[in-house]
Amino acid sequence: MQKTKNRLTGMFFLFILMPILFGYGTALAQPTDAQIIKDISGPGTISITLTKKNGHKQWNSDYGVWEYVRGVKEALREYPQKKGVTLKVVGDAVYQLYGSQYKYWKFRVISNEYLGMGTPSSKELMRLLRSDMEKFVSNYWYNLIVGDIKALYFPDDPHFIWHTTNSVSFNVIAEYRALVNNTDTEYIVQTFEVRLYRDGEDKPWKNFLSIARKREKSNRQTHTRSEIARMKTLADLDREQRANEAAKNLPRIEVKTYKNGKKLALALHTLLHDGTPDEVEAFLLKTLTPNYFVNGKRPALTQQGADLINEAVEWAFKKEGTYKQQYCRKPKISKRSGKKRIHLLGCINNVKTTIGVQKSRGGYVEGVKQPGSWQITMLSVGVRTDPDAIEYIHSFSNRKKLCPKD
C-alpha cells in the first residue's frame, strides 16, 4: 500500500514538472531577433526593425500546433518597378513548434506603404470629392447639412499613405452647419479619412471611400419650425444643381397660357404623338403642379415627379406599340372627361391616356393679382403591347383607315 502511494506521488510530481520542463525547453528554442531578421530578409531587403515588445506564443487550432509570433515594426524593401520608391511592410514573423524547436513558417503582412510616391494634385483630389458629396459625407449627413460645405481643406499633415501604387489614403477636413435634431443646428468641423482607387498609375482616380474620424462641434443654435422648413440641405442644393444642368440640355419648349385644361391636355398629346422624349420631359417640367418638385420649386423633381415623367416616356416611346401608332393626331376625347380629368382614346380598342389638370391660384406682381395657369396634376399613358394589338396596327396599308380625320 505504501509503495503504491509513493509511486502515485512520484507520478503526480512528474506530471506537474513536465509542462514546466517543456515550457523551459521551448523558451530556449525560441528564435533570436537576429535569426528572425535573417529568416524574413530576402533580395531587395534594405532594413528590418522589430517591435520593442518581445514575441508571444499562441495556439493555432487549424494546424494543431503552438506558434511563436514576433512583431515587425518596419521592413524596408526595394521596389524596382518605380524609381525612388521603397516598400515599407508592417507585420508578424510566425514560427511553428515542431518537437522542441520553432521553425519559421511565414511572414504575415499587416500593412504595406509605398514610400516616395509623392503627393497627388490637391486640385484633382478636391474635384473628385466634390463630384460625389453624398459618398464623401455619407447619406445621413448629406440630408442634414444645411446649405453647402463652408470649407474643405487638408490639415497641416494630411497623412498621405500609399497602400499600393494605385491606392492612396489621406485626411481632409470639412466644415459645415448641420441639423442635429428637429430644432437645433451645430457648426461641425469633421475630419474624414479618404482612400482613393485607380486602375493604373497612368489612369485617373475613379473611386473613393470616406470614413468620418475626429469631429468638433460648436455654436449650437435653436430654430423655429418655419425656419427649419425653409432650410435647404446639401442634398437639396445638389438635386437643384443637377436638375438645372439637365434642364439646360433639354429642348426649349414654349408653354402657352391655355384657355382650359383640355387645351393643355391636347398640347401634351401633340408632343406624345409627334414629339421626342426630351420634348415631353421639357414640357412636363414646366406644366406639372409644384408638388412634383423638391420644396415645390422647379426643376428639381421629387421621386414621384421623376417616376411620372419616366413612366410616361417609357410607355409613349419605348414599348413595341408606341403612342404614335395607337393614337390619332386628332384624338377622340371620352365623354366621361370632365374639367379636371381628360381621357384621350386610342385608335384601337382598350387604349386610353388620362391627364389630370387644375388651375393654379396665381400670384401677385407689384401688388397686382395675376391669373392662374393650367397645370398637370397626374398622367397615365396607356398603350397596348400584346401581339394581337401590334399585329392589328401593322395590318393597315393606309393610316387614314385608322385615323380618317388626320
Q: According to the model, what pLDDT value does residue 205 have?
A: 93
Q: According to the model, what pLDDT value does residue 8 have?
A: 41
Rounded CA separation 179/185 (Å): 4
Q: Residue 216 in contact with residue 197, Cβ under 8 Å? A: no
Q: Give the mean pLDDT of the chain.
A: 90
Q: According to the model, what pLDDT value does residue 151 have?
A: 96
271 and 394 belong to one structural domain: yes
Q: According to the model, what pLDDT value does residue 5 have?
A: 46
pLDDT above 90: residue 24: no
Q: Which residues pair with 178 in a beta bridge?
A: 145, 186
pLDDT above 70: residue 176: yes
291 and 319 belong to one structural domain: yes
Average pLDDT over residues 9-25: 40
Q: According to the model, what pLDDT value does residue 28 have?
A: 46
Distances (CA, A) of 98 to 60, 65, 67, 171, 349: 13, 8, 10, 46, 86
Q: According to the model, what pLDDT value does residue 367 have?
A: 85
pLDDT in tens, 35-82: 999 999 999 999 999 999 889 999 999 999 999 999 999 999 999 988
330 and 365 belong to one structural domain: yes
Q: According to the model, what pLDDT value does residue 118 have?
A: 87
- Domain count within the chain: 3
pLDDT above 60: residue 397: yes
How large a percentage of the chain has pLDDT more than 70?
Answer: 93
- The conformation of residue 63, written as its DSSP 8-state character, comes to T
Q: How confident is the model at residue 11 (pLDDT cuts 50, 70, 90)?
A: very low
Q: Residue 236 has which C-alpha cell? A: 437639396
pLDDT above 60: residue 34: yes
How large a percentage of the chain has pLDDT more than 90?
Answer: 79
pLDDT above 60: residue 13: no
Full 3-state SS string of 360-387: CCCCEECCEECCCCEEEEEEECCCCCCH
pLDDT above 60: residue 240: yes
142 and 214 belong to one structural domain: yes
> ∠89-163-76 over CA atoms, to 5°?
25
pLDDT above 60: residue 4: no
> ∠218-221-224 over CA atoms, to 5°?
160
Q: According to the model, what pLDDT value does residue 277 have?
A: 96
pTM confidence score: 0.68
Answer whether residue 344 is part of any domain: yes
Q: Residue 41 in contact with residue 79, Cβ under 8 Å? A: no
Q: According to the model, what pLDDT value does residue 368 have?
A: 85
pLDDT in tens, 111-130: 999 999 988 889 999 999 99
Q: Given 206, 240, 274, which residue is the final one in a domain?
A: 240
Contacts of 356 (CB under 8 A, 6+ apart): 340, 341, 342, 376, 377, 378, 379
129 and 208 belong to one structural domain: yes
Q: Residue 375 in contact with residue 342, Cβ under 8 Å? A: no
83 and 206 belong to one structural domain: no
Q: How confident is the model at residue 10 (pLDDT cuts 50, 70, 90)?
A: very low
Q: Residue 304 in contact with residue 240, Cβ under 8 Å? A: no
Rounded CA separation 290/343 (Å): 22
389 and 316 belong to one structural domain: yes
Q: How confident is the model at residue 343 (pLDDT cuts 50, 70, 90)?
A: very high
309 and 371 belong to one structural domain: yes
pLDDT in tens, 224-233: 999 999 999 9
Q: Domain range spanning residue 81?
A: 29-115
Answer whether residue 246 is part of any domain: no
Rounded CA separation 359/260 (Å): 8
257 and 366 belong to one structural domain: yes
Q: Residue 192 in contact with residue 212, Cβ under 8 Å? A: yes
Q: Given 50, 84, 115, which residue is the final one in a domain?
A: 115
Q: How confident is the model at residue 23 (pLDDT cuts 50, 70, 90)?
A: very low
pLDDT above 90: residue 134: yes
Q: Residue 213 in contact with residue 192, Cβ under 8 Å? A: yes
Q: Given 64, 89, 115, which residue is the final one in a domain?
A: 115
Answer whether residue 50 is part of any domain: yes
Rounded CA separation 347/329 (Å): 10
261 and 396 belong to one structural domain: yes
211 and 350 belong to one structural domain: no
pLDDT in tens, 143-174: 999 999 999 999 999 999 999 999 999 999 99
Answer whether residue 10 is part of any domain: no
Answer whether residue 14 is part of any domain: no
pLDDT in tens, 293-324: 988 888 989 999 999 999 999 999 999 999 99
Rounded CA separation 368/273 (Å): 38
Rounded CA separation 111/107 (Å): 12
149 and 277 belong to one structural domain: no
